[in-house]
Structure 1
């Protein structure tokens, strides 16, 4: 008797958890505008510059090369 009630409870919980996943509507993917592309490139450039400055300023990362 207890086993059947437990199975019913588990089944009800599973069905309640699965419902929200099915009701989600897919979204339309937005194309990037030119200003968004410029912003992304400038963020990447700023990040690269800051990484290079950290390497250049650190004593362990500074090496002199003889060409």
Structure 2
């Protein structure tokens, strides 16, 4: 009984995957200048956040040169 349910599930999943493959891929949207600036600022904020986490952790070793 359980195997019958699993068989039906596999068949439906296969048909859904096939239908997804047949759909046209979306048109790639070009990025505007403001989008590029936003992406860069997000990356910069993430990098700063990671750097501060490392600097603030008690296990990090810092060297004064």
Superposition TM-score tier, normalisation by shorter sequence: 0.5 to 0.7
Change in CA separation of 1:60 and 1:20 when aligned onto 2, cut-off 3 Å: same
- How far, CA to CA, are the matches of 1:21 and 1:63 in structure 2? 52
Tell me the SS of whatever aligns to 1:40. helix
* Counterpart position of 1:4: none
Q: Please tell me whether residue 58 in structure 1 is matched to residue 57 in structure 2.
A: yes
Change in CA separation of 1:19 and 1:55 when aligned onto 2, cut-off 3 Å: closer
* Counterpart position of 1:31: 30
Tell me the SS of whatever aligns to 1:21. helix
Q: Could you tell me the TM-score, scaled by structure 1's length? A: 0.62
Q: Could you tell me the TM-score, scaled by structure 2's length? A: 0.64
* Two-structure CA RMSD over aligned residues (Å): 2.3
Give the greater-gyration-radius structure (CA). Answer: 1
Structure 1 residue ranges (4+ consecutive) displaced by more than 2 angstroms after TM superposition: none
Aligned residues: 53
Tell me the SS of whatever aligns to 1:26. coil
Structure 2 unpaired stretches of 5+: 1-10
